[in-house]
Amino acid sequence: MKNITITLLFFCMFQMGAQEFTVDADLRQRFEYRHGFTTLFPDNAEPAAFVRQRARLNFNYSAEKLKLFIAVQDVSTWGDTRQILPADGNDSFMLFQAWAELQLGTHWSTKLGRQVISYDDQRIFGGLDWAMQGRFHDAALLKYKKERTQLDLGFAFSQQGESILGTTYNIPGFFTYKSMQYVYFKQSWEQSSFSLLGLNTGFQRFAQEDMTQADGVYYTHTVGSYFTFPVAKLKLSGSAYYQFGEAYPVDESLSAYQLALNATYKVGSTLLGVGAELLSGSDQGSSDRKSFFPLYGTNHKFNGFMDYFYVGNHANNVGLNDFHAKAVFKTGERATLLTALHYFTSNGSLAETTDKYLGTELDLVYTQPLIKNIKLQLGYSHMFASSNMSLIKNGVTSENTNNWGWALLVINPKLFNHNFD
């Protein structure tokens, strides 16, 4: 029986034609100094400092009509596990991705399993690679691809395990959905693109009188588009999304929007950029739900690297108007220096003032490739917060220094690559 199984396996591989198997690694260590990161630094407190690391292995198999991808990783903080006690463990090892993509015809395929879902500028769906753990979805995709036309249909249904009765889903987490369905369409041209996204996310509802008792599912809907196109030497990009349905986690009627427009221009080896993003918010003291939230995107990429907004925070708040400018300088043969400035105001009204100014953030990121497959990044950010920032950060004083520094080493070599027929 064993010999028959092995023979069948080799027969199937032979029938698949040309195949490729690769293994690559992604090792990262990031030191951080936090003195007002994500929120204002309070009086009589000590800054935080630590080293966070990721060790990831990616296994990729590709054949004519089949692709398989498995990624395993360990994410931990230096010192969070004692060295020699066998019973010690921090549950840091996890399966990051495990999916199969099967070609169904000339232009159709299906992708099933744990996977990164990322589109456009990653505002609504993104891989969140800055976070060591990344972001994944357990989902099924039906995909259409023909030349420059793309259509994806996505489906997900989440449960905590194999139940005998019921489908109650109660895993805590920021915007953790019970069900999800979406449609994504993209048309590309030589220098331009236009996409449409329709997303429906369902969250477990619980009875108000007993929060342990499931009471159906409520839904938040997000629809919108993203575009890129050139105007002479300018490269323009932007997005517009509308959210409606019921607001997470309060289960009340929602009406919210996001608008963004960015322009970049290259002068010699220097890239210049300006832009603005408006995310609607609810007025403080109002019961109306107007707060847009970008859901499953790479939110660290937007609105300043200090993560004061939309990175595990700022849900159902006053929203944000972010006016920003950046310049990327070439400082060596391969080194670059990014400088970015963000001017923040609230979108909704603040309760105690008519002034909406929240603060200004300065971000600096220096990137230096060291040798092949290894690069070093150094970052520094400073938040010049106004007194109004205290109104959305639990009343913590804005008078203290708020800054953040970090150093990241990325090592990502290809360990193995084999082609066979």
pLDDT tens by residue, 286-319: 888 999 999 999 999 999 999 999 999 999 999 9
Residue 380 domain-assigned (yes or no): yes
pLDDT band at 15 (very low <50, low <70, confident <90, very high): low
Q: What is the pTM of this model?
A: 0.92
Which among 237, 14, 8, 45 is positioned nearest to 122, based on CA atoms?
237
pLDDT band at 211 (very low <50, low <70, confident <90, very high): low
Cα–Cα distances in angstroms (integers) from residue 401 to residues 47, 93, 340, 398, in the given order: 11, 36, 19, 8
Q: What is the mean pLDDT of residues 160-188?
A: 92
Residue 4 domain-assigned (yes or no): no
Residue 76 domain-assigned (yes or no): yes
d(CA 355, CA 338): 30
For 295, the domain range is 18-83+93-420
Residue 1 domain-assigned (yes or no): no
pLDDT of residue 308: 98
Q: What angle do CA 189, 191, 192 make, to 5 degrees?
A: 60
If one counts the domains in the chain, the total is 1
Task: With beta carbons less than 8 A apart as the criterion, state whether 359 and 386 touch.
Answer: yes
Which among 392, 363, 368, 398 is positioned nearest to 380, based on CA atoms?
363
Q: Decide if pLDDT at 1 tops 50.
A: no
pLDDT of residue 8: 38
Residue 12 domain-assigned (yes or no): no
Which among 400, 311, 386 is positioned nearest to 352, based on CA atoms?
386
Residue 353 domain-assigned (yes or no): yes
Residue 10 domain-assigned (yes or no): no
pLDDT band at 348 (very low <50, low <70, confident <90, very high): very high
Q: What is the mean pLDDT of residues 164-186?
A: 92
Q: Decide if pLDDT at 281 tops 80.
A: yes
pLDDT band at 107 (very low <50, low <70, confident <90, very high): very high
pLDDT, averaged across the chain = 93
Task: With beta carbons less than 8 A apart as the criterion, state whether 325 and 273 touch.
Answer: yes
Give me the percent of the chain exceeding a pLDDT of 70: 94
Q: Decide if pLDDT at 6 tops 80.
A: no
pLDDT of residue 89: 60
Residue 24 domain-assigned (yes or no): yes
Q: State the pairing for strand pair 48-62/66-77.
A: antiparallel
| Partners of residue 180 on adjacent β-strands | 156, 201
Q: Decide if pLDDT at 218 tops 50.
A: yes
| Of the candidate ranges 86-100, 214-228, 290-304, the one whose mean pLDDT is the lowest | 86-100
Which among 268, 264, 28 is positioned nearest to 130, based on CA atoms?
28
Q: How many CA atoms lie within 13 A of 238 on its CB side?
A: 15
pLDDT of residue 16: 58
pLDDT of residue 270: 96
Enumerate residues 6+ apart whose C-beta is below 8 A from 296: 117, 124, 125, 126, 135, 137, 175
Give me the percent of the chain exceeding a pLDDT of 90: 83
Q: Check residues 82 and 375 and name the one with the higher pLDDT.
A: 375
CATH no. for residue 28? 2.40.160.10
